[in-house]
Structure 1
Amino acid sequence: MLSSFCKNYSNKTVQRTLIRYNSTVSNKNKNGTAIVFMNMGGPSTIPEVKDFLYQLFSDYDLIPISKKYQPMIAKFISTYRTPKIEKQYAEIGGGSPIKYWSEYQAKKVCEALDKTNPDTAPHKPYVAFRYAQPLSKDTYKKLLDDGITRAVAFTQYPQFSYSTTGSSINELIRNKKDLDKDDQIAWSIIDRWPKNEGLTSAFAENIHAKVEEFKKEDPNFKEEDLTILFSAHSLPMDVINMGDSYPAEVAATVYNVMEKLNFQFKYRLVWQSQVGPKPWLGAQTADIVEQLNTPGKEKLILVPIAFTSDHIETLFELDLEVIGEAKHPKNIKRCESLNGSETFIKGLVDECDHHLKNNTPFHKNLDLDFVLAKKDPNGNAPLRKFFTK
């Protein structure tokens, strides 16, 4: 009886040991999870500007001109605008820092996820830009070459718009059809995160820092003399009128930041970067700054609320144009961008952690976003077929 017990015990011990061993080997050999940061991107060097503009104006999802003639029109516009835009990038140091910050943030997120989410480790950082290097198609090829079988597309537009995140999704689907016919990679997506704790807390921290600067510079500073202008990239009204969720989600971010500031200051949501003759969502940032930038005590803080790092819209448009050309620039400060903020990066980690553990392919509203944009999710954009658990 004792011999039988020992034999059974020994067999069970061996079985448990083999299970643990096989599990360890399997864990070491698996390819883990790719975390792919998606964004519009920006030219890292001045010679890249023309191609960046061409890619941007070729995007029918962003600028719907003509599906048939869009490439030809994009070539003309990019050639015409390149000299002007090259000068702007030269004034901010010779290129956009968005690639640097995207790679830095993605790397930090993956390092943290390896510790918090061992079941999906190792986590591998990738960057996929819509209009600049590394282009999303090149990133997809690298994912395949690296043997990736599980990937999370993580939009770096915190607030969803069909023109931005929607365009990146469409490009991702096209790349999969062209490059990944065997379905090597299983995808899910984080397609919006407007009230992410790290996102809104980091903005609140950066606003506090600018308030303290005003206090040091002006002993007579009073909180009632300060207005915070949350500036987001505008969109054409024909996009908004289709029911795009972007304005509401940007407003949600703003409100959440103000809650963290206990609504101590006056504030307003304004919109920047309007181009062309079409009506755009307003009021325009530059117009409101001009109205409020009086010679009195009024102080202004500009907050780039829809951007996760510095690029041309912050470093040139806000710093050099809006503030640099203001009548009283000393009364205006631009809140630091999120860039390497540890609070912000923790928020990115938390967003990925929740997504991986919740095991949801995409946000419930994504189907509706594509329907309202007149892209049938069961036809042109097969979301449920593409994004899996």
Structure 2
Amino acid sequence: MSKFAVVLLNLGGPDSLDAVEPFLYNLFCDPDIFKIPVGQKLFAKLISHFRAPKVIEEYKLIGGKSPIGHWTEIQRSKLEEKLRKKNLQADVYVAMRYWKPFTKEVVDKIEKENYSKVILLPLYPHYSITTTGSSFNEWNRYYKNESDKLIFIKSYYLNEKYIAAINQRIDETISKFPEDVKDKIHIVFSAHGTPVSLVKNGDPYSHQIKETMEAVMKARNYSHPYHLCFQSKVGPMKWLEPATDKMIEELSQNGIKNLLIVPISFVSDHIETLYELDIEYRHVAKESGIENYYVMTGLNDSDLFVDALLDLVMSNV
């Protein structure tokens, strides 16, 4: 079999405190998220400069940088190893949308090689124009070789091994709760929110998130009550609801005191899980009277998740 490439597409994250402001600038320059007809670069410069000091303080609390690069590299190396064990000539790359290694750098490397095909595999199981769509668009801006070599994997939110990987992590988290409350746990699925306008325009992300949640709970025979909410709102527009912090408060008011938080739209830990869920919303939970609050560890180095990625590649070679 001829040689092929797999490119894992991900968000990226600042690898130092000095990288926070330029990372934010790149994010706010993205026309697939922030559609500003005139002066988007000026807007991005101003808002990234304004937001950077607060965000830097948050990164200080989780180790001074984003771990997304670390976990993505582990996923990359594990996938490459599994492919080569199948005697496949495969090189696996990582292309980040807003930080290093940038998409353009990876395109330049791949165009110098004579690959028979290039499989673009997003580390976003659910499709949204703001994530997978944005990464595909960025790739297409730079890739000039034969387009018939490209394979775009749009989503895999119901992949059985992906669902199993989430449930493996949920079971690990349940084991941390006191024995006498394990049957009183409520599972709270927290997904990164999007503006409601995206949903109205046909973005399938929020519907796919719900389908993943239902598949996860069906696979575990609906072991616990469960809920869906959304986090990480930015700006004044209307976003998907209910908000995660409001959901935590509401559950406590209804007498629920044991919460297991599942970051459903993320495949590796980063600031939204380690700071927003595990620090900021933990404070909300404590203030609300929640007695046991555990955040599920991201899929990170999960072999089951890498097996899901392997299956996706194998079905396209």
Structure-2 separation of matches of 1:185 and 1:316: 42
Find out whether 1:309 has 2:268 as its counterpart. yes
8 Å CA contact 1:149, 1:184 repeated in 2: no
Residue 41 of structure 1 corresponds to which residue in structure 2?
A: 12
Alignment of 1:138-177 (within 5 A): 138-176=105-143
Structure-2 separation of matches of 1:297 and 1:132: 40
Residue 80 of structure 2 corresponds to which residue in structure 1?
A: 110
Structure-1 separation of matches of 2:14 and 2:182: 41
8 Å CA contact 1:156, 1:308 repeated in 2: yes
Q: Secondary structure at the match of 1:276?
A: coil
Alignment of 1:151-300 (within 5 A): 151-176=118-143, 180=144, 182-183=145-146, 186-214=149-177, 217=178, 219-223=179-183, 225-293=184-252, 298-300=257-259
Tell me how far 1:185 sits from its aligned partner.
8.1
CA pair 222-82 structure 1, distance change in 2 beyond 3 A: closer
Structure-2 separation of matches of 1:42 and 1:185: 31
Structure-2 separation of matches of 1:184 and 1:265: 47
Question: TM-score, with normalisation over the residues of structure 1?
Answer: 0.77
Residue 94 of structure 1 corresponds to which residue in structure 2?
A: 64
Q: Secondary structure at the match of 1:205?
A: helix
Matched AA of 2:125: P
- What do the CA deviations read for 1:344-365 (whole angstroms, capped 9, x no partner)? 1111111211222xxxxxxxxx
Structure-1 separation of matches of 2:42 and 2:77: 38
Q: Of the two structures, which has the highest relative contact order with CA contacts closer than 8 Å and spacing of 6 or more?
A: 2
Tell me how far 1:194 sits from its aligned partner.
0.2
Asked which structure has the greater CA Rg, the reply is 1
Q: Secondary structure at the match of 1:127?
A: strand
Tell me how far 1:293 sits from its aligned partner.
2.9
Q: Secondary structure at the match of 1:220?
A: helix
> Which sections of structure 1, spanning at least 5 residues, go unmatched?
1-26, 357-389
Structure-2 separation of matches of 1:354 and 1:184: 19
- What do the CA deviations read for 1:31-70 (whole angstroms, capped 9, x no partner)? x11110001111111111111101100001111122x311
Residue 359 of structure 1 corresponds to which residue in structure 2?
A: none
> Which sections of structure 2, spanning at least 5 residues, go unmatched?
none
Aligned residues: 315
Residue 98 of structure 2 corresponds to which residue in structure 1?
A: 131
Residue 75 of structure 1 corresponds to which residue in structure 2?
A: 45
CA pair 137-228 structure 1, distance change in 2 beyond 3 A: same
Structure-2 separation of matches of 1:282 and 1:302: 16
Question: TM-score, with normalisation over the residues of structure 2?
Answer: 0.94
